[in-house]
A and B are shown apart, each in its own frame.
Chain A
Amino acid sequence: MAPAALSQVLRHLPKARDPNLLVGPENSDDAAVYKLGDDLALIQTVDFFTPVMDDPYLFGQVAAANALSDIYAMGGTPLLALNIVCFPNCLPPEVLHRILRGGADKVAEAGAIIAGGHTVQDDVPKYGLAVTGLAHPERILSNAGARPGDMLVLTKPLGTGIINTAIKGDLAPAESVRAALESMLELNRKAAEVMIRWSAGSCTDITGFGLLGHAAEMALASKVTMEIHSSSVPLLPGIKELAAMGMIPAGAYANRDYFSGQVKIPGGTGPEMTAILFDPQTSGGLLISVPASGAGRMMDEMEREGVAAVMVGKVKELSSVPIEVL
């Protein structure tokens, strides 16, 4: 849903109160975290969506990578997953089989298991998973742990929303499609393992609200200001050209309008770049806030692990707005 409509709805719901609920809905976090004991916390998340590609096997994999990502973004390890399926009776069951096979393979790659699921008949297919993970309660990476002086690292290039829009218009170059698919299929597992070793303070995964939207949520929860260097932000190939052609999904504009009061963008930034920075991502990368002392070595290790991490900004004391784009 668009962030404006969603926050309106959630505002009127009663707030859960429990001393063991370490991360609830208040800071727009990736997943809920519940403390089971002094050294064990449960992480729960759910994510599902309509197909972003024609191939059902690839769609299943991307949906699973996307759902698992919320566990990684909290600093956890996925344990169990349950399938959530909406499927029309006009499509052959073989399609559903391939979607589920894709999901199962990705969950296996993450070292977790699928323990069941639920199906509903619906006109448009939808697939995703509810995932349960584990972490040490003191090593949870919520949105609230970014500190002034930290560096901000992004682990995947932006642009899957724009490329998916261009695919619908039959205008996406093959290279862009291939790169977007590769990026969406990649688990955030290695990036998460590396960031934990280098004492990252905060993390979120970049999904529907785009880089600046998720960064704003993190900055607000951490009560800091984040500087994002737009020229350093990694982009999938062909993104600027596709944005310039108007291949921008409605979600990017909705994000821009909703977060406009929280983000300061310099006058010289074109509307294309602004839209790219707010482009909703499917199975996007992690945005990691890491102390500057370890940032360089964390980047080295990311590179050794094959994670294309890029430094995109830094964390400062809270000033007038949560996000300043440079």
Chain B
Amino acid sequence: MPEAKIEDCRGLPCPQPVINTKKALDSMAKGTVTVLVDNDTARENIMMFAGNAGYTAEVEKIEKGYSIKITKGGAAPMETPNDPVAAEGRASTAYLITSNLLGQGSPDLGQVLMKSLMVTLSEADPPPGSLMFLNSGVLLTCQGSPVLEQLKKLSTGATEIISCGTCLEYYKLKDKLAAGRVGNMLDIHRLLSESAKVITVA
């Protein structure tokens, strides 16, 4: 049975409105919570929370504040993101890149091929969901890499770029990372298990 609740968070200090909203939503299987707030910080924080937690939210201006209607559940299973960007991210392709060269054989050729792959990926539509760099792959995300331009272009778009922290440390490149961010195995595992398709480049 869908429930309907009203949370009056007017007059509450930050971050209490978000906490109350979260508690109200956590306590129901599905339904709507209408939150009343009296400031922009609370409105923005609740919209941020709702979007990232996968709820749909609509804001309506009311006298001295806002009324935010948040809907949980529906036909889709709970926790399914309604945010199109996040949804696309999860359904998209992840690239696991474990070498700075593409393929076995001449290193020069391997480098040319890798650059060509990155140029292609940076122009792909839709762009890849994530690129994960491990082992000598991290040479590609660091200063001096021949593909930095392409990686930076990807990282300003929707593509998540992660370099393995252990690998950066091993190659003494921790200060030289120039594209994307450092990630750990938990991060990488999350992307491997969440992405619709994983392509390994070695």
Give every chain A residue within 8 A of B15 (Cβ-Cβ). 165-166, 168-169, 171, 246-248
Q: B113: shortest Cβ distance to chain A, in Å?
A: 25
B40 & A244 in contact (Cβ 8 Å cutoff): no
Q: Is the CB of B181 within 8 A of A248?
A: no
B residues within 8 A CB of A170? 19
Bound Cα distance from A272 to B45, whole angstroms = 9
Binding stretch for chain A, among B117-125, B128-136, B155-163: B155-163
Interchain CB contact under 8 A, A250 and B157: no
Q: List chain B positions with a Cβ less than 8 A from chain A.
A: 13-16, 18-19, 22, 39-41, 44-49, 52-53, 85, 152, 155-158, 161, 175, 177-181
Q: Is the CB of A253 within 8 A of B44?
A: yes
Establish whether residues B152 and A326, one from each chain, have CB atoms under 8 Å apart when the complex forms: yes
Knowing A231-B161, A247-B18, A299-B175, the reply to whether A271 touches B44 (Cβ < 8 A) is yes
Neighbouring B residues of A311 by C-beta, 8 Å: 175
The answer to whether A169 touches B44, judged by C-beta atoms less than 8 angstroms apart, is: no
Q: Are B48 and A271 in contact (CB under 8 A)?
A: yes
Q: In the bound complex, do residue B52 and residue A245 qualify as a contact, i.e. CB atoms below 8 Å apart?
A: yes
A169 and B18 within 8 A (CB): yes
A326 touches B156 (CB 8 A): yes
Nearest CB on B from A76, distance (A): 27
> Does any Cβ of B come within 8 Å of A232's Cβ?
yes
CB-nearest residue of chain A relative to B159?
A268
Partner of B41, one of A253, A268, A310: A253
Report A225-251 CB contacts with B as 1/0, cut-off 8 Å.
000010110000000000111111110
User: Can you list 15 residue pairs at the A/B interface with Cβ under 8 Å?
Assistant: A171-B19, A229-B178, A231-B180, A232-B178, A244-B48, A245-B18, A246-B18, A246-B47, A248-B15, A248-B45, A253-B40, A271-B48, A272-B52, A303-B175, A326-B152
How many angstroms between the C-alpha atoms of A245 and B44 in the bound complex? Answer: 11
State how many angstroms separate the Cβ of A158 from the closest Cβ of chain B.
Answer: 13
Which residues of B have CB within 8 Å of A247? 15, 18, 45
Q: How far, in whole Å, are A243 and B40 apart by their CA atoms in the complex? A: 16
Q: Which residues of A contact B18 (CB under 8 A)?
A: 169, 245-247
Given A165-B15, A169-B16, verify A244-B156 contact (CB < 8 Å).
Answer: no
Does A14 lie at the interface of the complex (its beta carbon under 8 Å from any beta carbon of B)?
A: no
Besides A168-B16, A246-B45, 15 other A-B contacts (C-beta < 8 A): A168-B15, A169-B16, A169-B19, A231-B155, A231-B181, A243-B48, A245-B18, A246-B18, A246-B46, A246-B49, A248-B41, A248-B45, A269-B156, A272-B52, A311-B175
Asked if A266 is at the interface (CB within 8 A of a chain B CB), the reply is yes
A250–B13 Cα distance when bound, in Å, is: 10
* Chain B interface mostly: helix
* With A231-B181, A268-B158 as contacts: A245 and B22 at CB distance below 8 Å: yes
Chain B hits for A232, CB < 8 A: 177-178, 181
Known interface pairs A244-B48, A311-B175. Does A268 touch B19 (Cβ–Cβ under 8 Å)? no
Q: A18 to B175: give the CA distance in the assembly, Å.
A: 43
For residue A296, which residues in chain B have a CB less than 8 angstroms away from its CB?
175
- Within residues 18 to 45 of chain A, which ones have a CB less than 8 A from any CB in chain B? none
Q: Complex formed: what's the CA distance from A144 to B39 in Å?
A: 36
B40 surroundings in chain A (CB, below 8 A): 253
Instruction: State which residues 168-224 of A face B: CB under 8 Å.
Output: 168-171
Closest residue of chain B to A233 (Cβ to Cβ) is B181
Q: Is the CB of B52 within 8 A of A250?
A: no
Chain A 246-280 interface 0/1 with B at a Cβ cutoff of 8 Å (1 = within): 11111001000000000000101111100100000
List of B residues within 8 angstroms of A300 by Cβ: 175
Most buried by B among A170, A171, A232, A299: A232
Inter-chain CA distance A34–B178, complex, in Å, is 40
Min CB distance, B121 to chain A, in Å? 16
| Cα of A231 to Cα of B161 in the assembled complex, Å | 9
Q: Which residues of B contact A272 (CB under 8 A)?
A: 48, 52
- Once bound together, how far apart are the Cα atoms of A29 and B116, in whole Å? 47
List the A residue with the shortest CB-CB distance to B16: A169
- 7 nearest CB pairs, A to B: A246-B45, A246-B49, A250-B41, A244-B52, A246-B18, A169-B15, A246-B48
List, in ascending order, chain A residues with CB within 8 A of B175's CB.
Answer: 296, 299-300, 303, 310-311
A231 touches B179 (CB 8 A): yes
CB B191 to nearest CB in A, in angstroms, measures: 14
Across the interface, do B48 and A248 meet the contact criterion of CB distance under 8 Å? yes
Residue of A nearest to B53 (CB): A245
- Inter-chain contacts of B44 with A (CB < 8 A): 246, 248, 253, 271
CB distance from A268 to the nearest CB of B (A): 5
Give every chain B residue within 8 A of A165 (Cβ-Cβ): 14-15
Chain B residues near A229 (CB-CB < 8 A): 152, 178
